[in-house]
Structure 1
Amino acid sequence: MAIVQWKATSTGAAAEQQAKAYLIDNGLRFIEQNYKANVGEIDLIFKDAQQWVFVEVKYRESDSHGFAAEMFSQSKRSKFVRAIMCYLQAHELNCHHTPMRIDLIAIDDKTLNWIKNV
């Protein structure tokens, strides 16, 4: 888990851009952003060596209504996994033989927290 200081922004799109830049700076290879399927959306898709990394980005300006990481609920995770399955199928990747993980970038105010393999 990595925690760094982050420049505050007011939009989710800006948070995604910050997360994308951070992951690229940490050696991941960018593949796609904002993949949409009927069942959900994947914010960022990367490769870490041969492993596919599907990233959800959550941003909270303050913790008055909870922390960003807490916003990746079980129902959101279920939709996210269904979107991953759609992505794999669309790209002719077998979900049983494709190395992959789900990472979460949680941004609380000015702190970026990268949680691997949630």
Structure 2
Amino acid sequence: MNTHIDLGRRGEDAAAEYLAGLGWTILDRNWRCQEGELDIVAHDGRGHIACEVKTRRSNRFGDPLDAITADKAARLRRLAWRWAAAHGVGGTSMRVDVLGLIGDGDAFSIDHLREVC
């Protein structure tokens, strides 16, 4: 398997585990529509959250959270609305979080940025 794809998959698994550890319910993983993909959709007991996961082996080429530009954030918001419409959830109850993961041996350090948009 491609090591880049494997790193991304392991990062998403670690992010889902982290969110579950917060008591969140994972509702969807790798949800796709014509506009793109949401890595994780969860519910924290109060509302629905679309989570973008950015994983890197190190921060040598920058922080993973730096990959979230204004255009990317707007696209994530549109995808969150699409997920909400497809699942009968009001769009106003959706928010977008980003999780930046840096590999640390077999584990990851996780930076959780809430309410990106």
Measure how far apart 1:23 and its partner are: 0.6
Runs of 4+ residues over 2 Å off in structure 1: none
Identity between Structure 1 and Structure 2 (%): 23
Measure how far apart 1:47 and its partner are: 0.5
- CA distance in 2 between counterparts of 1:95 and 1:28 reads 19
Aligned length: 108
Q: Does structure 1 residue 26 correspond to structure 2 residue 54?
A: no
Q: Which runs of 5+ in 2 are unaligned?
A: 1-5
- 2:64 alignment partner AA: A
- CA distance in 2 between counterparts of 1:11 and 1:88 reads 28
Q: Which moved more, 1:48-57 or 1:100-109?
A: 100-109
Tell me which residue corresponds to 1:4.
none
Aligned ranges 1:28-107 → 2 under 5 Å? 28-96=24-92, 99-107=93-101
Whether the 8 Å CA contact 1:40–1:82 is kept in 2: the answer is no
SS state of the match for residue 11, structure 1? helix
**Relative contact order (C-alpha < 8 Å, sep 6+): which is higher?**
1
Q: Which runs of 5+ in 1 are unaligned?
A: 1-9
Measure how far apart 1:16 and its partner are: 0.2
- CA distance in 2 between counterparts of 1:113 and 1:95 reads 25
- CA distance in 2 between counterparts of 1:11 and 1:25 reads 21
Task: Choose the corresponding residue for 1:115, options 105, 113, 116.
Answer: 113
Whether the 8 Å CA contact 2:27–2:42 is kept in 1: the answer is yes
SS state of the match for residue 63, structure 1? coil
Tell me which residue corresponds to 2:3.
none
- 2:53 alignment partner AA: V
What is the RMSD of the two structures over their aligned residues, measured on CA atoms? Answer: 1.7
TM-score, length of structure 2 as denominator length = 0.83
Whether the 8 Å CA contact 2:97–2:114 is kept in 1: the answer is yes
